[in-house]
Amino acid sequence: MNQKHVVVIGSGFAGLSAATHLATSKSCKVTIVEKNSTPGGRARKFEHQGFVFDMGPSWYWMPDVFEDYFGKFGKKPSDFYDLIRLDPSYAVVYGKDRVLDIPANLDEFKSMLDKLEPGAGNQLDKFLAQAKYKYEVGIHDLVEKPSRSLFEFTSLGLLVDMIRMDIFQSMAKHVRKFFKSEEIIRLMEFPVLFLGETAENIPALYSLMNYADIALGTWYPKKGMHEIIKGMVELAEEKGVEIRYDAEVEEIEIEHGVAKRVRLVSGEKIDADVVVAGADYHHVDKHLVNPKYSNYSDDYWDKRVMAPSSLLFYLGIDKKLKNLRHHNLFFDEPLGPHADAIYKNPRWPEKPLFYASVPSVTDPTVAPEGKENMFLLIPLAPDLEDGEEMREKYFNVIMDRLEEITGQEIRSHIIYKRSYAHSDFKSDYHAFKGNAYGLANTLTQTAILKPSLKNKKVKNLYYTGQLTVPGPGVPPSLISGGVVAREVMKENNL
């Protein structure tokens, strides 16, 4: 049988998903070319003297999406990794003496809300009923659409669904219809922080993330998030996908509107019948194809609203820490000035929000005995200068607060430290403006208004990942790979 050769650029969640779906076709041979020496993209890992660090994603939400993904190939997540449901799901820190442990049990969660605001537990039932509906329609219908035509969304039933899902109302207004307590409001708005805009500018559709958080729970794969990538690689190779590492693409060679091959930085050329780009969309669009075949202009890209970038610190601590959970959200400073810094006037914030993950609280395998593995993240505006002096300044800003709030000395116990920010995202992933999460999920950057998964001028060049449909995040990236694979198979008779 004559097989068509599909080359997938990038081995992140979306690239691996696309490649594995495509490999199920007997008329398809699939090769992944990966710039870095290990798989996973932003979900890579690294190790240092017994510390095992996940480099990127650390939250495991929407377990049904992972079950659905592996189920399409006759597998289960448990075939590749073991999951633990975290309880508490995470801690929210409003100040030194104001820390909320978010219980996994729904009744306990409602009781906690009632203490903050009488009647809030009953209001949560109403809020979650709507959020559940949005989740079931959004995650199991809307996000599966390739969003290449408005006609995909014109059925009467779907139009009714979309109106019911509050796509024209802001998340901020939606939450305030149910709750008055500022602490509850900040808690309910938290899941949209990394969608790239303030709750005032994110559609209330995304309360579906509250359902994922509160009802479906926060989970952790033993040995770390990279175990998901490890399982996906094993499955991809089982299906016949070839993965080539240290194979950076320098150009997609196009002739008469047809992608013919990819040329690597090494000079090697790999013939292709179809190319699926799971690398940074902007990088592919502006640097890997001849300018006459670009999907979008420079002006188009400059006007995109990007989700935040991040300043990350990976720390090895030579003692066990107290007063910290696996996940810890530090909301001890007002959101306003920080939101402006990220979304309106890009600059380094005066009082940053930050997040601390201590996976060794749950999993002793990620740190040597008696030691702690800590991951710190500050969300920041894209395209900032991030020299070592600035990184160190902000490290001390958040460590001052972390030590004060948790009541312990940490800095003197750090035996390993690595920072990672905009310039690293650019170097490792060619990330547009050093982005960490892709495009903001604003109303004007939703569905058909996102960059298209198909090149308009090249008949066999497709895109997948966080800068196209359905959007940023691990579950959407898994779904993105499946969506583009279906389009490739349908249009290329695979």
- Cis status of the peptide bond prior to 308, with omega within 30 of 0: no
What pLDDT was estimated at residue 156?
A: 45
Residue 54, pLDDT score? 98
The pLDDT assigned to 417 comes to 98
pTM of structure: 0.96
Task: Using CB atoms within 10 Å of the CB of residue 284, give its burial: 0 to 12 exposed, 13 to 18 middle, 19+ buried.
Answer: buried
**Reduced to 3 states, what is the DSSP secondary structure of residue 175?**
helix
**Would you say 43 and 81 are in contact if contact means Cβ atoms under 8 Å apart?**
no
> Where is pLDDT greater, at 329 or 197?
329
**76-80, 222-226, 331-335, 458-462 — which is least confidently predicted?**
331-335
User: Which residue carries 């969300």 as its tokens?
Assistant: 379
pLDDT at 387: 96
Which residues of the chain does CATH 3.50.50.60 include?
4-82+223-303+441-491
Rounded mean pLDDT of 408-418? 98
Do 273 and 492 form a contact (C-beta atoms < 8 A)? yes
Worst-scoring range by mean pLDDT, 134-148, 394-408, 415-429, 442-456?
A: 134-148
Q: Residue 68 burial (CB < 10 Å; 0-12/13-18/19+)?
A: middle
pLDDT band for position 344 (cuts 50, 70, 90):
low
Query: Is residue 366 pLDDT above 90, yes or no?
Result: yes
**Of 149-153, 276-280, 417-421, which gets the smallest average pLDDT?**
149-153
Domain at 4-82+223-303+441-491, CATH class: alpha beta
Strands 258-264 and 269-271: antiparallel
Residues 6+ apart with CB under 8 A from 426: 434
Name the percent of the chain lying above pLDDT 70: 95
Mean pLDDT (whole number) for 474-489:
97
- Numbered ranges of CATH 1.10.405 in the chain: 122-215
What's the CATH fold of domain 122-215?
A: Guanine Nucleotide Dissociation Inhibitor; domain 1 (1.10.405)
| Per-residue model confidence as pLDDT tens digits over 13-69 | 999 999 999 999 999 999 999 999 999 999 999 999 999 999 999 999 999 999 999
171-203 tens-digit pLDDT: 999 999 999 999 999 999 998 876 777 888 888
Q: Is 1 helix (H, G, I), strand (E, B) or coil?
A: coil
Q: What is the DSSP string of 82-148?
A: -EEE-SS-EEEEEETTEEEEE-SSHHHHHHHHHHHSTTHHHHHHHHHHHHHHHHHHHHHTGGGS---
Strand partners, 215: none
For 100-118, write each residue's pLDDT tens digit: 999 999 999 999 999 999 9
Residue 160: pLDDT over 80 = no
What is the distance between the terminal CA atoms of the chain, rounded to a whole angstrom?
12
Is residue 152 over pLDDT 80?
no
> Hey, what's the torsion of the CAs at 431, 437, 439, 442, to 10 degrees?
-160
Q: What is the residue-wise DSSP string for 225-291?
A: THHHHHHHHHHHHHTT-EEESS--EEEEEEETTEEEEEEETTS-EEE-SEEEE-S-HHHIIIIIS-G
pLDDT in tens, 422-438: 999 999 999 999 999 99
CA distance 359 to 404: 21
pLDDT at position 130 over 60: yes
CB 239 within 8 A of CB 25: no
pLDDT for the residue 336: 60
Mean pLDDT of the chain, nearest integer: 94
Least confident of 8-12, 69-73, 146-150, 210-214: 146-150
| Averaged pLDDT, 77-93 | 98
